[in-house]
């Protein structure tokens, strides 16, 4: 048995029977076939950044897809790269820089760079595009292994594709991804510190004036006149390729650690220092792909716990809430009241836009939403978890109250009622993936928990 966990929250310790790291698709197909013969469950993990047990199954086999790490070819004419599912975003960006310097990825998740292509497909991720839908729009084709180890090549017209993208490994294992690229662009960052009211309109008007990316990093001090009242608006607008690039001015690991500590201990100061730093980067010019790279500190909380003599280990759990854009201002007000009422303070909160996903079976971007990414500290003892569960459920209720939804890639604390309200396609999705994998070999702790939470309301498993 081997103990595995997600990287960021460390709230999903899971004992798996073994971890296998195939180096080729053939080896992976053999593992899947052997698991089928032995009647063994099997899940697949990439960077292990999903935070609700999506990649793990207690007692099952775990495939570490990161051994499938080859970039297979770049079709410069069609602007498509074909890569194995274990390739991560930083490697892809670096390698494209060498092999096809005129081309670039369109978007990646922000916050960390070691998410894999397979994990990103399975969550149907998004970045901070101002006029982009989720990753599905850049997927030209996928290769998928089914539960019997049979390989399928699929495009957006195929049901398997539509189930697999955003399907958290339930519709097969992604072995290969054909990803659409774009011509490499230079973008100029615009930074302003401003009040939150009217922020959706500000992001939309930056988009209408040509900006490609943007977000709004908000104040986190848990008081009625600070929380979500102000923020740092950053936008990225294309400039001519003749405009010289700036030496990227990035916060180094030490500066990030300091900001993260301040976010826990002096949130007002954390925001002020962050805003002051970001304002200095106004006007800088970057490449559109490298501007999406991030500094990620996988161990920052362990160090923070030590320095602050925490009563128990802790970490941050992220959540992402969506609301119709017209409701955003009221939503932020209600969220502020809910957080302050619960004595909770975000460590980080940022607002972005997303366009509708018209392709995937379990589309989370059901409308052009405003997206709020927010994380809360969780103490890893019983009381801390109970608090976190209550708080995250309350946040989801606020989003639902405004006709919104939430992202499935984070915790698995939503109730059955919340799941049904936010993800009306979920029951049908589980039923259909259950038909394709009747022995539920790809069941994860997360999907088992979904079915359990949905069951009291009449969810009928395909096997029953
Ligand atoms: C700090 C941080 C910042 C983040 N920022 C963003 C963001 O900006 N935007 C966003 O959309 N998300 C964001 N996320 C969420 C993250 O992008 C997703 O959870 C993504 O799935 C992680 O990829 P991974 O390689 O780590 O996948 P894992 O966590 O390893 O796996 C996630 C899911 O994908 C499945 N999977 C993995 N590989 C395969 C494969 N080859 N075939 C089939 N299924 C597979 C797993 O079974 C699991 O269900 C963030 C997460 C963290 C911790």
CA of 114 to the centre of ligand 1 (A): 9
- Residue 259 domain flag: no
- Residue 94 domain flag: yes
Q: Choose one of 49, 175, 374 to mutate for the ligand 1 pocket test, by most ligand atoms within 8 angstroms of C-beta.
A: 49
Same-domain pairing of 107 and 175: yes
Q: Which of 183, 204, 221 is the last residue of a domain?
A: 183
Listed range (249-253, 396-400, 422-426, 433-437) with the worst mean pLDDT: 249-253
- Is the CB–ligand 1 distance for residue 117 below 6 Å? no
Percent residues over pLDDT 70 in the chain: 98
Averaged pLDDT for residues 260-286: 96
Residue 67, classified by CB atoms within 10 Å of its CB into exposed (0-12), middle (13-18) or buried (19+), is middle
Same-domain pairing of 97 and 128: yes
Would you say residue 79 has pLDDT above 60?
yes
Q: Residue whose CA is closest, atom 44 of ligand 1?
A: 169
- Is the CB–ligand 1 distance for residue 327 below 6 Å? no
Averaged pLDDT for residues 227-235: 98
Q: Containing domain of residue 22, as a range?
A: 2-65
Same-domain pairing of 78 and 172: yes
- Residue 278 domain flag: no
Same-domain pairing of 104 and 149: yes
- Is the CB–ligand 1 distance for residue 149 below 6 Å? no
Same-domain pairing of 56 and 98: no
pLDDT bracket for residue 370 (50, 70, 90): very high
- Is the CB–ligand 1 distance for residue 371 below 6 Å? no
Would you say residue 461 has pLDDT above 80?
no
Would you say residue 462 has pLDDT above 50?
no
CA of 115 to the centre of ligand 1 (A): 6
Nearest to 251 by CA among 262, 242, 238: 262
User: Domain with 147 in it: what CATH number?
Assistant: 3.30.465.10
- Is the CB–ligand 1 distance for residue 110 below 6 Å? yes
d(CA 311, CA 330): 36
- Residue 262 domain flag: no
CA of 428 to the centre of ligand 1 (A): 22
Same-domain pairing of 121 and 61: no
pLDDT bracket for residue 463 (50, 70, 90): very low
Q: Residue whose CA is closest, atom 47 of ligand 1?
A: 55
Q: Which of 183, 215, 244 is the last residue of a domain?
A: 183
- Domains: count for the chain: 3
Strands (E) located in 167-239: 173-180, 182-183, 186-195, 213-218, 230-239
Percent residues over pLDDT 90 in the chain: 95
Same-domain pairing of 75 and 179: yes
- Residue 390 domain flag: no
Q: Are 153 and 209 in contact (CB under 8 A)?
A: no
Residue 222, classified by CB atoms within 10 Å of its CB into exposed (0-12), middle (13-18) or buried (19+), is middle
- Residue 226 domain flag: no
Would you say residue 457 has pLDDT above 70?
no
Would you say residue 459 has pLDDT above 60?
no
Q: Choose one of 6, 122, 363 to mutate for the ligand 1 pocket test, by most ligand atoms within 8 angstroms of C-beta.
A: 122
Tokens, residue 272: 């002020």
CA of 276 to the centre of ligand 1 (A): 31
DSSP 296-323: --TTHHHHHHHHTT-SS-EEEEEEEEEE
Q: Residue whose CA is closest, atom 27 of ligand 1?
A: 119
Q: Residue whose CA is closest, atom 9 of ligand 1?
A: 109
Average model confidence (pLDDT) across the chain: 96
Averaged pLDDT for residues 170-174: 98
Rg (CA), the chain: 21
User: Tokens 């274990």 sit at which residue?
Assistant: 86
- Residue 56 domain flag: yes
- Is the CB–ligand 1 distance for residue 49 below 6 Å? yes
pLDDT bracket for residue 96 (50, 70, 90): very high
Q: Please state the φ and ψ torsions of residue 446, each to the nearest 5 degrees.
A: -70, -45
Listed range (22-36, 173-187, 296-310, 376-390) with the worst mean pLDDT: 296-310
pLDDT digits (tens, 9 = 90+) for 375-387: 999 999 999 999 9
Tokens, residue 382: 């019983």
pLDDT digits (tens, 9 = 90+) for 133-155: 999 999 999 999 999 999 999 99
Tokens, residue 243: 């405009």
- Is the CB–ligand 1 distance for residue 48 below 6 Å? yes
Give the residues across from 142 on adjacent strands: 154, 177
d(CA 423, CA 78): 35
Strands 173-180 and 139-145: antiparallel
pLDDT digits (tens, 9 = 90+) for 293-348: 999 998 899 999 999 899 999 999 999 999 999 999 999 999 999 999 999 999 99
d(CA 309, CA 307): 6
Q: Which of 183, 214, 241 is the last residue of a domain?
A: 183
Chain centroid to Cα 280, Å, comes to 28
pLDDT digits (tens, 9 = 90+) for 208-217: 999 999 999 9
Same-domain pairing of 179 and 74: yes
Tokens, residue 291: 């501007």
Of 461 and 18, which is predicted with more confidence? 18
What pLDDT does residue 456 have?
A: 66
């Amino acid at each position: 048995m081997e103990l595995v966990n997600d990287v960021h929250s460390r709230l999903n310790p899971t004992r798996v029977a073994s971890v296998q790291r195939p180096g080729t698709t053939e080896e992976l197909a053999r593992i899947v076939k052997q698991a089928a013969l032995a009647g063994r469950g099997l899940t697949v993990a990439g960077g292990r950044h999903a935070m609700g047990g999506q990649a793990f199954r207690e007692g099952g086999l775990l495939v570490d897809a990161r051994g499938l790490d080859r970039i297979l070819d770049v079709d410069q004419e069609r602007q498509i790269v074909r890569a194995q599912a274990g390739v991560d975003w930083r490697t892809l960006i670096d390698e494209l820089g060498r092999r096809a310097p005129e081309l670039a990825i369109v978007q990646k998740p922000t916050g960390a760079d070691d998410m894999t292509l397979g994990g990103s497909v399975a969550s149907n991720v998004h970045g901070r595009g101002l006029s982009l839908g989720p990753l599905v729009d850049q997927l030209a084709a996928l290769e998928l292994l089914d539960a019997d180890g049979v390989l399928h090549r699929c495009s957006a017209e195929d049901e398997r594709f539509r189930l697999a993208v955003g399907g958290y490994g339930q519709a097969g294992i992604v072995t290969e991804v054909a990803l659409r690229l774009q011509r490499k662009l230079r973008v100029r960052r615009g930074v302003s510190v401003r009040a939150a009211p009217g922020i959706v309109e500000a992001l939309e008007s930056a988009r209408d004036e040509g900006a490609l990316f943007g977000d709004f990093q908000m104040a986190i001090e848990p008081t009625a006149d600070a929380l979500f009242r102000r923020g740092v608006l950053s936008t990225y607008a294309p400039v001519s390729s003749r405009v010289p690039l700036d030496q990227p001015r990035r916060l180094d690991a030490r500066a990030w650690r300091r900001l993260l500590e301040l976010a826990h201990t002096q949130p007002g100061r954390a925001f002020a220092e962050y805003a002051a730093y970001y304002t200095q980067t106004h006007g800088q010019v970057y490449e559109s792909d490298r501007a999406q790279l991030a500094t990620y500190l996988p161990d920052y909380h362990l160090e923070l716990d030590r320095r602050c003599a925490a009563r128990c280990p802790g970490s941050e759990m992220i959540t992402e809430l969506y609301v119709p854009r017209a409701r955003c201002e009221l939503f932020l007000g209600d969220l502020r009241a809910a957080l302050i009422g619960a004595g909770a303070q975000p460590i980080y909160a940022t607002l972005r836009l997303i366009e509708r996903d018209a392709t995937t079976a379990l589309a989370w971007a059901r409308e052009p939403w405003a997206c709020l990414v927010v994380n809360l500290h969780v103490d890893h003892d019983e009381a801390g978890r109970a608090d976190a569960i209550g708080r995250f459920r309350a946040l989801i209720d606020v989003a639902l109250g405004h006709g919104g939804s939430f992202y499935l890639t984070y915790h698995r604390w939503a109730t059955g009622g919340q799941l049904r309200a936010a993800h009306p396609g979920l029951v049908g999705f589980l039923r259909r993936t259950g038909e394709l994998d009747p022995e539920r070999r790809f069941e994860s702790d997360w999907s088992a928990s979904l079915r359990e939470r949905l069951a009291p309301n009449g969810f009928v498993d395909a096997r029953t």
